[in-house]
Amino acid sequence: MYKILKAGKLAGNIYEMVVEAPRVAKRCLPGQFVIVKMDEKGERIPLTICDYDREAGTITIVFQPIGASTEKFTRLQAGDSFRDFVGPLGRPSDLCTDDLEEVKKKKILFVAGGVGTAPVYPQVKWLHEHGIEADVIVGAKTKDLVILEDKFRAVTGNLYITTDDGSYGRSGMVTKVIDDLMTEEGKSYDVCVAIGPMIMMKFCCLTTKKYNLKTIVSMNPIMVDGTGMCGACRVVVGDEVKFACVDGPEFDGHLIDFDAAMKRQAMYKTEEGRALLKLREGDTHHGGCGNCGGDK
């Protein structure tokens, strides 16, 4: 059992929890995720790691309820426990595993949107701890939905907050800030990391393509087992079939067909959709979801 030490609301419908998971905290790196199960019969929910404390043996997760299981998570309080807390899963961010001296030469821009702001924080924090200051754009619909502002201010001197309605910080979506920084404000970057809703990552990639700016995105398709077996998280990157849980979740955003990824995400939710995907995807469908008959 994994004890919840702290549970509460960060903003709007966004929740934060600090969970006692020493083995995960000891090994995890920015970019990785965990799969959490509330009880024996609970659904397996993938959640990105927002922060970790190796000494205290804790992991901070941030989530937005989108189904029955995550809705039940919101009712948990400090003192309650998760049945399973599996991780760290996925590959760590390249920026935290590449040669440090090479990373130090890079000018890095992070673009964080909505709940996707949570997985951006550990990367910026890790870079700051290793002497690298990155620029960070944080976008939210309104002032009330801006999260982790103080934490980001502690790890970067260049934080650009923007709200869609202009109620706080700059006005407009994150893509407008990318354009403003790179044109009117004369900034240039070697790499951009964009994490948020799929539609945001799509438009960030279209924007950065104009500047020939390499862009990494973190894909969060539906996941079931998180071990590369079930095929649920299949993504096409360039001409290659990848599985976000083991090959990602970070990929070169300029190689992703976001429209196809969003369409697949919607299709995977229905039995008929999964049956059609099984036909189209052949061997790479895997069928381990147990719903489409592919594993029978």
Out of 60, 175, 208, 215, point to the residue binding ligand NAD (CB under 6 A). 175
159-163: strand order across its sheet: 170-171, 159-163, 135-140, 108-113, 191-195, 214-218, 250-252
Q: Which residue number is nearest to ligand NAD in terms of Cβ?
A: 114
Residue 48 engages ligand NAD in binding (rule: CB under 6 A):
yes
Evaluate the CA torsion angle 137, 139, 142, 147 in order and state its sign: negative
Question: Could you give the 3-state DSSP secondary structure of residue 214?
Answer: strand
Residue 174 engages ligand NAD in binding (rule: CB under 6 A):
yes
- Minimal CA–CA distance to 18: which of 86, 77, 91? 77
Rounded-to-integer distance, Cα 32 and Cα 14, Å: 20
Site mask for ligand NAD (CB under 6 A), range 129-168, x = bound: ----------xxx----------------------x----
Residue 258 engages ligand NAD in binding (rule: CB under 6 A):
no
Pseudo-torsion of CA 287, 292, 295, 296, nearest 10°?
-170
Q: Between 81 and 142, whose beta carbon lies closer to ligand NAD? A: 142
- Minimal CA–CA distance to 279: which of 290, 289, 266, 293? 293
Site for ligand FES in 236-265 (CB under 6 A): 243, 245
Residue 277 engages ligand FES in binding (rule: CB under 6 A):
no
127 binds, among ligand NAD, ligand FES, none (CB under 5 to 8 A by kind): none
Rounded-to-integer distance, Cα 244 and Cα 256, Å: 12
Residue 113 engages ligand NAD in binding (rule: CB under 6 A):
yes
139 binds, among ligand NAD, ligand FES, none (CB under 5 to 8 A by kind): ligand NAD
Q: Between 22 and 228, whose beta carbon lies closer to ligand FES? A: 228
Out of 87, 90, 116, 253, point to the residue binding ligand NAD (CB under 6 A). 116
Site mask for ligand FES (CB under 6 A), range 222-241, x = bound: -xxxx-xxxxxx--------
C-alpha R_g of the chain: 19
Site mask for ligand NAD (CB under 6 A), range 212-251, x = bound: ------x-x-------------------------------
Q: Between 73 and 268, whose beta carbon lies closer to ligand FES? A: 268
Residue 294 engages ligand FES in binding (rule: CB under 6 A):
no
Rounded-to-integer distance, Cα 34 and Cα 213, Å: 30
Q: For the chain, first and last CA: distance in Å?
A: 32
Long-range CB contact pairs, 42-45, < 8 A, 24+? 42/69, 42/72, 42/83, 43/67, 43/68, 43/69, 44/84, 44/223, 44/224, 44/225, 44/226, 45/69, 45/70, 45/73
224 binds, among ligand FES, ligand NAD, none (CB under 5 to 8 A by kind): ligand FES
The CA-based angle 151-217-252, given to 5 degrees, is 140
The residues that touch ligand NAD, with contacts defined as CB under 6 A, are 48, 113-116, 119, 139-141, 164, 173-175, 195-197, 199-200, 203, 218, 220
The residues that touch ligand FES, with contacts defined as CB under 6 A, are 223-226, 228-233, 243, 245
